[in-house]
Amino acid sequence: DRDGADALRGGELLGEPLDVDDALWVHELIGAPVVDTAGAACGTVTSVLANPADDILELDTGALVPVTFVVGWDDERRVVVDPPEGLLDVV
């Protein structure tokens, strides 16, 4: 109830980590190198921006990549993206 929830105010709630195959977690994305499906370097993730449509990876190159175009991790723990032509072009 409300009183019970209010009693937790200011406290710290902890939960067991989820073990989900093929999940990408924000804390793992920050600092991760990004490559395209051919293995070409695209930059490094500097932040993940919350966006109503899809979260967006901000790269150190200035490029913004919606997570829609993330296809997974490779064996070297790099983020693999399959962006449409021109998405990574920064002017």
Distances (CA, A) of 61 to 7, 20, 57: 45, 30, 11
Collapsed DSSP state (helix, strand, coil) of residue 77 = coil
Q: Does the pTM of the predicted model rise above 0.85?
A: no
Phi, psi for 18 (deg, rounded to 5): -85, 135
How high is the pLDDT of residue 34?
Answer: 97
Q: What residues have CB less than 8 Å from 75, skipping those under 6 apart?
A: none
pLDDT tens digits for range 12-61: 888 887 888 767 788 889 999 999 999 999 999 999 999 999 999 999 99
